[in-house]
A and B are shown apart, each in its own frame.
Chain A
Amino acid sequence: MSEVEGMTAKQKLVYYQDKMYKDALEGKAKGELVCWSSSIAPCEFCETMGIHMIYPENHAAAVGAKHGALAMIEIAERRGYSLDICSYARINLAYMDLLVEEAKTGVTPKELEECPGPRIPLPDVIITCNNICNTLLKWYENLAVELNIPYIIIDVPYVHHWPIPEYTKEYIADQFEYAIKQLEDLCGKPFDRQKFIEVQEQCQRSVDAWDRAMGKACIVPSPLNGFDMFNFMALIVCARAKYAAEDTFNTLADELQAKADRGEDAFKGGEKFRIAWEGIACWPYLSHTYKSLKSLGCNMVGSTYPGAWSIHYTVGNMKEMGAAYCKMYSNTELAHKVDVITDVLTSTSSTGITYHLNRSCKLMSFLNVETAEIVKERTGVPYVSFDGDQTDPRNFSPAQFDTRVEALAEIMEENKNK
């Protein structure tokens, strides 16, 4: 009998995540290769080569959600990293230093031992794609240089115009081929094209299941609360190329549909308002932000996140795969962002939206000021912005957040009564 048989989606999420970290640690001990990858870099190549994948952003988010961020951030800042750098980067660079110290001395540093996030092994190769951020390039380069390991970069041009031009697709597809060559050199074995097709097929099934599960947020009232979406996101990031993701999301979709069929919703009948959340979660304050919104009857049903991992392409078509990784929400021009958010608001029947002005993520945050105003003009849906950070707990004020969302709820209430 399969170990996951009979498990709920939440149980599967925990099981598969733990297994991935465990497999990577055990694999590393046996001499197998480990890759550290940015969250929306193509995972298909390393997966084909049988390389264990670790996602520093996801790991940093887990450290943040478990209230271990500040200890790591302080180490990074003591070592000279500016507080203006992305907090995921600071956490990860500090974590890497601690792992290196442990490897050199044989003694586990106290901060590493006390870090509440999952233990991860040091990488043998780095892969990144600048489709979500350009700070990543230097952060991951720093890892590669300090550890003296190969660095695979997939550079995708910013999308200013649609459709994505052929030369852009060719440029990315050529880099895919070069990445394959780099991996062949590293692994000392040829790239298995047949296995690659199977991996791509798995990715497409995982993405379909993800879309299916996240689509349940459109049901009114919603059986899905968006903060669960933030948690389930871990698997679409880390296990897109594995059956684990497909299995978990299909279970989740079935559970949510059954819940909706029974007339139940995420708030046990308390869904008063449906809102969208633009930006990364404030991981150290996940519970606070959730409870604050819930106390107002606000279910966060809309986000641009589900769409970020909705990476569809025709299996076997490298250029199409390149385009799919290129047109990430964060890598596209303002008008497209406005279209995406408008669509999120419409499809989820959201009557309000919060924009997280994230100190760590300048690209998204600066654009959000303009995006918010255009979306408001187009849809009439009221919005609030709040200051925060994805994992640096010093940049968020719970009281300021509460005031803003309370006022948003009051405006939505007034709009209802119009």
Chain B
Amino acid sequence: MYTLGIDIGSASSKVVILKDGRDIVAEEVVQFGTGSSGPDRVLHQAFTKSGLTFDDMAKVVATGYGRFSVEQAQKQISEISCHAKGIFFLVPTARTIIDIGGQDAKAIKLDKRGMVSQFFMNDKCAAGTGRFLEVMSRVLEVPLDKMAEYDSKASEVVSVSSTCTVFAESEVISHLSNNVPKENIIAGVHASVASKACGLAYRTGLEEDIVMSGGVAQNEGVVRAISKELQKKVIVAPHPQVVGALGAALFAYDEAKKVQ
């Protein structure tokens, strides 16, 4: 039995197709989110690569900001529950999740059964999210996927203290005009993201294992900064960017089993 989970975020669209609620047969990411061609493209890619179609799916569950735009989904579930479900499937020892996506940063506390016992999300502000990193990447003329590499070569972490993305951008520009090495600025940018995310994470009580997911978890620089800030080991979830879609596919499997 195949089930499909689709996570339509603000910056990207993700799909996971599961077989029997256990095996990932397709996982796709397209870097365009809700309101764009991203959702159609990611579905097309997943079906093309797997050779499957919607007709093969026992159930479809959608999550993310664009969850209500997927006509084929039988159910919509919040990304909080989907991330919890996905992470618990991948890392059953997880008790704290730090998820940083395009416009959301969240910290989720899980109980021993993998249920959400509390969660905290960023306020109405882009600081500490993937969007913040995108803005900085553009100003610094360093591609997003190279930022971790730059960070690893930093000799010191410069301060990027403004919580507001726009003010932080000015701060970065000021550092650049003072010839501060980009490596050090990027380490500062990562520390700034970490500081915001950890502010949420501290409120969960920080029970270990602490697992990171979301697109930003692919940036080792941010992961390092978070681990340093928390002074705890941080595990990066396998398939970090598709954890929400995986959770949705798992929920879809549960739904399909109810029907059987």
Given A373-B203, A387-B124, the answer on whether A414 and B116 have CB atoms closer than 8 Å is yes
Contacts of B115 in A (CB 8 A): 411, 414
- Residue A7 lies at the interface, judged by CB distance under 8 Å to chain B: no
Q: Which of A357, A399, A407 has the most CB of B within 10 A?
A: A407
Alpha-carbon distance between A397 and B126 when the two chains are bound, in angstroms: 13
Contact residues of B between 109 and 126, Cβ < 8 Å to A: 115-121, 123-124
B65-115: which residues lie under 8 A (CB-CB) from chain A?
65, 76-81, 104, 115
Name the B residues within 8 Å of A383 (CB-CB). 118
- Distance, CA A399 to CA B119, complexed state (A): 17
A377-390 Cβ-contact flags toward B at 8 Å (1 or 0) = 00000111101000
A-B contact pairs, 10 of them (CB 8 A): A382-B118, A384-B119, A385-B120, A387-B124, A406-B76, A406-B78, A407-B80, A407-B81, A407-B119, A414-B116
Residue A400 lies at the interface, judged by CB distance under 8 Å to chain B: yes
Contact among A373, A382, A410 for B77, CB-based, below 8 A: A410
State in angstroms the CA–CA spacing of A329 and B235 once bound together: 44
On whether the beta carbons of A376 and B118 are closer than 8 Å, the reply is: yes
Chain A 396-410 interface mask (CB, 8 Å, partner B; 1/0): 110110011011001
User: Is A395 in the interface zone, CB < 8 Å from B?
Assistant: yes
A407 touches B124 (CB 8 A): no
Q: How many A-B residue pairs have CB under 8 A?
A: 42
A297 to B79 CA separation, bound complex (whole angstroms): 19
Chain B residues with CB below 8 A from A357, complex form? 123
Q: Which chain A residues (363-382) contact chain B, with CB distance < 8 Å?
A: 373, 376, 382
**Does B121 contact A404, Cβ atoms closer than 8 Å?**
yes
| Contact code string A329-358 (vs B, CB < 8 Å = 1, else 0) | 000000000000000000000000000010
Q: Which residues of A contact B104 (CB under 8 A)?
A: 403
Find chain B residues with CB under 8 A from A396 CB: 124
Asked if B116 contacts A407 (CB within 8 A), the reply is yes
> 1/0 contact trace for B117-138 toward A, CB 8 Å?
1111101100000000000000
With most chain A CB atoms within 10 A of its CB, the pick from B81, B119, B120, B124 is B124
Q: When chains A and B are docked, how far (Å) is the Cα of A407 from the Cα of B117? A: 11
Q: How long is the Cα–Cα vector from A357 to B121 in the complex, in angstroms? A: 12
User: Can you list the 8 inter-chain pairs with the closest CB atoms, starting with the nearest?
Assistant: A407-B80, A406-B78, A407-B78, A387-B124, A410-B81, A387-B123, A414-B115, A397-B124
Give the shortest distance, in Å, between A361 (CB) and chain B (any CB): 15
- Chain B at the A interface: mostly helix, strand, loop or mixed? mixed
Q: How near does chain B come to A80, taking the closest CB pair, in angstroms? A: 22
User: Chain A, 74-97, contact with B by CB distance < 8 Å: what is the 0/1 string?
Assistant: 000000000000000000000000
Given the complex of chains A and B, what is the CA–CA distance between A376 and B204 in angstroms?
Answer: 12
Q: Bits for A25-57, please: 1 = Cβ < 8 Å to B, else 0.
A: 000000000000000000000000000000000
Distance between A285 CB and nearest chain B CB, rounded to angstroms = 13
Which residue of chain B has its CB nearest to the CB of A410?
A: B81
Closest residue of A by beta carbon distance from B120 = A385
Contact size range, B: 10 to 19
Tell me whether B116 and A411 are in contact (CB under 8 A).
yes
Contact with A along B148-165 (1 / 0, CB 8 A): 000000000000000000
In the assembled complex, which residues on chain B have CB atoms less than 8 Å from the CB atom of A414? 115-116
**Known contacts A406-B78, A407-B78, A410-B80; A400/B116 CB under 8 A:** no
| In the bound complex, CA of A407 to CA of B121 (Å) | 11
Alpha-carbon distance between A411 and B85 when the two chains are bound, in angstroms: 12
Shortest distance from the beta carbon of A394 to any chain B beta carbon, whole Å: 9
Binary A-proximity of B38-60 (CB < 8 A = 1, otherwise 0): 00000000000000000000000
How far is it, in angstroms, between the C-alpha of A406 and the C-alpha of B115 when the chains are bound? Answer: 15
A385 contacts across to B, CB distance below 8 A: 120
**Do residues A382 and B117 form an inter-chain contact, with CB atoms below 8 A?**
yes
Are B80 and A403 in contact (CB-based, < 8 A)? Answer: yes
Verify A400–B121 contact, CB threshold 8 A. yes
- Taking a contact as CB atoms under 8 Å apart, the answer to whether B116 and A403 are in contact is no
- Tell me the bound Cα distance from A373 to B123 in angstroms: 17
Taken together as a complex, chains A and B put the C-alpha atoms of A376 and B121 apart, in Å, by 17
Closest chain-B Cβ to A384's Cβ sits at a distance in Å of 8
Extra contacts, 15 of them, besides A357-B123, A406-B77, A414-B116 (Cβ < 8 A), are A384-B119, A387-B124, A396-B124, A403-B78, A403-B79, A403-B80, A404-B121, A406-B76, A407-B80, A407-B81, A410-B80, A410-B116, A411-B115, A411-B116, A411-B117
State in angstroms the CA–CA spacing of A290 and B79 once bound together: 21
Q: Which residue of A lies closest to B251 (CB)?
A: A410
Tell me the smallest distance from the CB of A197 to a CB of chain B, in Å.
49
Q: Are B124 and A399 neighbours in the complex by a CB distance under 8 Å?
A: no
Q: How far, in whole Å, are A376 and B116 apart by their CA atoms in the complex?
A: 14
Report the Cα distance A407→B99, complex, angstroms. 15
Partner of B124, one of A382, A384, A400: A400
Shortest distance from the beta carbon of A351 to any chain B beta carbon, whole Å: 14
Cα A51 to Cα B62 with chains together (Å)? 58
Q: Complex Cα distance A138/B117, Å?
A: 42
Residue numbers in B under 8 Å from A384 (CB-CB): 119
A370 vs chain B, min Cβ distance (A): 11
Of all chain B residues, which has the CB nearest A395? B124
